[in-house]
Amino acid sequence: MVERIPQPSIKGPRVRPSRLRTLLAVVIPLVFLAACGSTSTVAKVNPLDAVKVGGTAKAPTVTFTPKPLSVKVTTTKIIKAGKGPVLTKANAILFNYVLVNATSGKQVESSYGTQAAGMDLSSSSLLPGLSKGLTGQKLGTRLLLAIPPADAFGTAGNTTAGFAPTDTVLFLIDLVSASTPLTTASGAVVPPKAGLPTVKVVGTQPATVTVPKTAAPTTLVVQPLIKGAGPVVQAGQNIKVNYTGVLWKNGTKFDASADHGSGFDTQIGAGKVITGWDKGLVGQTVGSRVLLIVPPADGYGAKGSPPLIGANDTLVFVIDILAIV
């Protein structure tokens, strides 16, 4: 969906994020890391001992010889131990990173000097190696994390990001902050204006939305239903949400995050989702539930998004803002 908002049944509101996010795959259970101590009397050599971290605070560099660097299991090395709380899979984190292809030594991407990246450690789209390597670490830690193909892109590799099927993925990571996302909206109830769709939400299930049999609005409608007490969402931030989307013309659901088994993470206010989301969610607060009525000009326009969203369809979304990640 060309940097637009998702709708599961049509590969939906799953927007295409930054290159780092394209690295995300499936979460698997936490296992002990290769860096754990051994009961053997012979010390194991950590392949990450060959990696040197240099540069500056705003532009760190990662170098190593000889090349390639390869690991068979997800491997970590602590550069600086943090003193903060231990991360769990329930956390959403902010972190800075340098991403390197460990075969060539080429730097693929870096967040330093720009904006810290967000990641939900419970996300079903997370690389298994990231889950293994970061869960159990302390906030404030700087670490190296090497991920073998089996815990990264598998036998397919990731040509978009420049990784062949046999390439090890190497990260330098600084763990900046962590929070625990809400499971549903929480805050003060806001009475909606008359004439809008009615909404019923039970737990984390998809919202039930009843659309009135009237003409659709021609401009974007942003109606808070619950006002959360969390921080204000700013353009460029990554947020975690639950959402349900239905068509104004007949009330048919075309997508819901619950149908995918987890919340949806995206950068907001940066053109990564449909314009209606960027306009309607920036400025809202964490914990809020927001009703968006999105006209075609702020949605999928005259082309629609077949097969479920037709040409010039008006969309109705119910969105719970769970965290800034």
CA distance 291 to 259: 19
Could you give the residue range(s) of every CATH 3.10.50.40 domain in the chain?
31-179, 187-324
Find which of 18-22, 91-95, 169-173 is predicted with most confidence, using mean pLDDT: 169-173
Q: Is the pLDDT of residue 11 over 50?
A: no
- Say whether pLDDT at 19 is over 90: no
* Measured torsion, CA atoms of residues 85, 86, 89, 95, in degrees rounded to the nearest 10: 70
3.10.50.40, 3.10.20.30, 3.40.50.2000, 3.10.150.10: CATH of 187-324: 3.10.50.40
- The pLDDT value given to residue 25: 36
As a whole number, mean pLDDT of residues 99-113 equals 95
- Amino acid symbol at 211: V
Assigned fold of 31-179 = Chitinase A; domain 3 (3.10.50)
Q: How many whole angstroms separate alpha carbon 134 and alpha carbon 96? A: 13
pLDDT tens string 246-282: 999 999 999 999 998 878 888 899 999 999 999 999 9
| Rounded distance between C-alpha atoms, residue 264 and residue 176, angstroms | 22
For 149-160, what is each residue's pLDDT tens digit? Answer: 999 999 999 998
pLDDT number for residue 20:
45
DSSP element (H, E) containing 277: helix 275-281
C-alpha distances in Å from residue 107, one per residue of 64, 97, 100, 135, 154: 12, 11, 4, 24, 20
Q: How many CA atoms lie within 13 A of 86 on its CB side?
A: 3
